[in-house]
Amino acid sequence: MSHLEMHQFICRSDNYGLLVHDHQSGATASVDAPDASVIESELKRRGWQLTHIFTTHHHTDHVEGNLALREQFGSIIVGPKLEAEKIPGIRKQVEGGDTFTWAGREVKVFACPGHTKGHIAYLIKSEFSLFAADTVFSLGCGRVFEGTFEEMFHSVNQFRTLSPSTYLYCGHEYTEANGRFAMTVEPGNRALQQRVGAVTKLRQDGKMTCPTTIGEELKTNPFLRCDSPEIRRNLNMEAATDAEVFAELRKRKDNFK
């Protein structure tokens, strides 16, 4: 079986668009649909037909293109059961723990409450590819809007056990700002220093910083490193639980300029 082709691009201002294409069957999925016209032109340029949309959560900047793309391509929209009434055009409802077959591959669904109540992530294990949208970002994580910090801690940290070589595809290009915050809580982390340097260079060159990998994030992302002695020392939270450290990090990031 040949590998899936991943085509990633920026749309709106900082949303990632992502098309996943199987050359064998011709199946193509868009991970979320931030902007129908940009996605349509990316599809046309490649001669791909959009067979599916994998929706992660109900925020407008992730679902706004659903109906126009479905109209154009007859795409089947897969999305979170817990937010089904807020996902335009949803046809197949899935929830954490579900698996389904797409392009001959198993797709696993993870529940990620926190950013929204019903946020889900998709993993295509055979491709080592995780589509985490607004749950885990490179060097950061999503804001907690609808769930609790405790829920978000579990949603983010459930991915620590995935293979380190798993590619992490995110919903937004926020890495540079995330890196600035990460350096305030773990400035002595060599891997983080190097990543921040690499990210600065990528952004200066107008390049995207994702996908990253789970392994890279485990070494650098403070929200996956709540057990780091340096972070705990800097927060003055040496005796706290990892979830408490996570909550403090998230609150500080909310107020970080």
Residue 74 has a CB neighbour count (10 Å cut-off) of: 10
Q: Which residues contact 137 (CB under 8 A, 6 or more apart)?
A: 170, 171, 172, 174, 175, 178
74-77 contact pairs (CB < 8 A, 24+)? 75/30, 75/50, 75/51, 76/51, 76/52, 77/52, 77/53
Let me know: does 83 contact 91? Beta carbons within 8 Å.
Answer: no
Rounded distance between C-alpha atoms, residue 41 and residue 240, angstroms: 50
Counting residues that bind Fe ion (by CB under 5 A) gives 2
Closer to Fe ion by Cβ: residue 59 or 70:
59
Give residues 196-255 in contact with Fe ion (rule: CB under 5 A): none
Give residues 91-150 in contact with Fe ion (rule: CB under 5 A): 134
Secondary structure E strands in the chain:
5-11, 15-21, 28-31, 52-54, 76-80, 92-94, 99-102, 105-111, 120-124, 129-133, 136-137, 140-141, 167-170, 212-213
- Region from 53-61, 159-167, 200-208, 209-217 binding Fe ion, contact rule CB under 5 A: 53-61
**Pattern 145-184, binding to Fe ion, x per CB under 5 A?**
----------------------------------------
3-class secondary-structure state, position 234: helix
Closer to Fe ion by Cβ: residue 38 or 237:
38
Q: How far is the CB of 42 from Fe ion (least distance, A)?
A: 21
Closer to Fe ion by Cβ: residue 64 or 248:
64
Q: How far is the CB of 50 from Fe ion (least distance, A)?
A: 21
Q: How far is the CB of 64 from Fe ion (least distance, A)?
A: 12
Q: How far is the CB of 256 from Fe ion (least distance, A)?
A: 18
Q: How far is the CB of 120 from Fe ion (least distance, A)?
A: 12
Residue 59 lies near Fe ion (rule: CB under 5 A): yes
Q: Which residue is nearest to Fe ion (CB)?
A: 59
Contacts to Fe ion by CB under 5 A: 59, 134
